[in-house]
Amino acid sequence: MAVADSGAEPTVIADHLDIIYKVIAGQGGKGTAATAFRRILKRQDRPTIREVHAVKDVNFVAYKGDAIGVIGRNGSGKSTLLRAIAGLLPPASGVVYTGGQPSLLGVNAAMMNDLTGDRNVVLGCLAMGMSAAEIQQRYDEIVEFSGIGEFIDLPMSTYSSGMAARLKFAIASAKTHDILLVDEALATGDAEFRVRSERKIRDLRDQAGTVFLVSHSLDVVLDTCNRALWLDGGVLRLDGTAEEVVAAYTKFARG
C-alpha cells in the first residue's frame, strides 16, 4: 500500500497499459484500380495493415505537482503514451485513469492554418470552454506570452514552425489545466521562448497541476521536471527522479 499511503493525490494512473495500433504501411501491390478490385474479390482486408505494439505493459502513478519528463529514442512510444493519457488512443489492454481532462500539446497539431493568429486564439479558447468575457480578459496576455507581436493578424499558414508552436502553447496554457501533456512543443521555439515556457510549466506545477513533457533535450527535462520516465521500445525502462533517469539514459546512449 505504499502508493496509497504516501499522502499525495494521484492525477494519472497507468495500469498495465498496452497500446497496439493499426497503421496502413504504404501501398500493397501496385496500388492500381485493378489490384484494389482483385483484393475486394478475394475478400482480403487492406493488404498492408500492420499492427504496431507501441506501448508495452506500462505502469506508473503521477501526482499533483509532478512534472514528468518522458525520454527515450525516436519511436520508443513517448508520443503514443501521451496520446493514451489524453484519451485519444484506446488502450489494447490496461487502463489509464485521469483526474480532470488532460490537454495534449504537440508540434504537429496545427490549428486552423488559413485563419489569422488572433482568430485562432479566440477559437482555441472557445473550444476549451472559456467564455467570451474570459477570453477578452486573457487575450492580451496570450498574445503577449506567444511573442508573435504584429504577426498576430496574419494567417497561421504564414508562420514559421516556431511561431506556430509558440502560439499554440500560449493558447493551450491560457486555461489552467489539471494535466498538461507537452509533446516536443518547446523544441522549435527560440531560447527566450523556452525560458518563458519553462516558467509557465513551473507555474502550472505550483497550481497543483501535473505536466508531462516529452523532450529530446535532456537539459530541459533536468530544468523543469522533478521526475522522468524512460521508455525504450515501448517498455518502461526506468521511473525515478529526473537526475537519476537522465543519468541512466545518457550512460545507455553513450553505449
Of 227, 230, 231, 234, the one binding another protein by CB under 8 A: 227
Please identify which residue in 226, 232, 233, 235 interacts with another protein, judged by CB under 8 A. Answer: 226
Nearer to another protein among residue 148 and residue 180 (C-beta): 180
Give the DSSP per-residue string, 17-43: EEEEEEEE-S-STT--HHHHHHHHHTT
User: What torsion, rounded to 10 degrees, do the Cα atoms 91, 84, 109, 211 define?
Assistant: 180
Longest dimension (CA), the chain: 64
Segment interacting with another protein (CB under 8 A) among 32-40, 110-118, 140-148, 189-197: 110-118
Give the phi and the psi of residue 57 in degrees, each rounded to 5.
45, 60
Query: Which region among 38-46, 114-122, 139-147, 197-205 touches another protein (by CB under 8 A)?
Result: 114-122
Interaction of residue 196 with another protein, rule CB under 8 A: no
As measured in angstroms, the least distance from the Cβ of 222 to another protein is 14
End-to-end CA distance of the chain: 37
Selection from 105, 88, 100, 108 nearest residue 210 by Cα: 100
Q: Does 49 bind another protein (CB under 8 A)?
A: no
Q: From the list 20, 21, 188, 223, which residue makes contact with another protein (rule: CB under 8 A)?
A: 21
Q: DSSP per residue over 91-151, as a string?
A: -SEEEEEESS-EEEEETT----TTSBHHHHHHHHHHHTT--HHHHHHHHHHHHHHHT-GGG
Contact flag: residue 90 with another protein (CB under 8 A): yes
Distance CA 195, CA 16 (A): 35
Question: Residue 139, interface with another protein (CB under 8 A)?
Answer: no
Q: Where are the alpha helices (DSSP H) in 128-241?
A: 132-146, 161-172, 191-206, 218-224
Per rule CB under 8 A, is residue 85 in the interface with another protein?
yes
Distance of CA 23 to the CA centre of its chain: 20
Residue 168 binding another protein, by CB under 8 A? yes
One residue of 81, 172, 211, 221 binding another protein per CB under 8 A: 172
Sole binder of another protein in the list 20, 36, 115, 248 (CB under 8 A): 115
Least CB distance from residue 126 to another protein, whole Å? 4
Kind of pairing between the strands at 93-98 and 49-63: unpaired
Does residue 66 bind another protein (CB under 8 A)?
A: yes
Q: Which of the stretches 39-47, 69-77, 124-132, 211-219 binds another protein when contact is defined by CB under 8 A?
A: 124-132
Sign of CA dihedral 129, 131, 132, 137: negative
Binding residues for another protein (CB under 8 A):
1-4, 6-15, 21, 59-63, 65-66, 83-91, 95-99, 101-106, 108-112, 114-115, 119, 122-124, 126-129, 131-132, 168, 172, 226-227, 239-241, 244
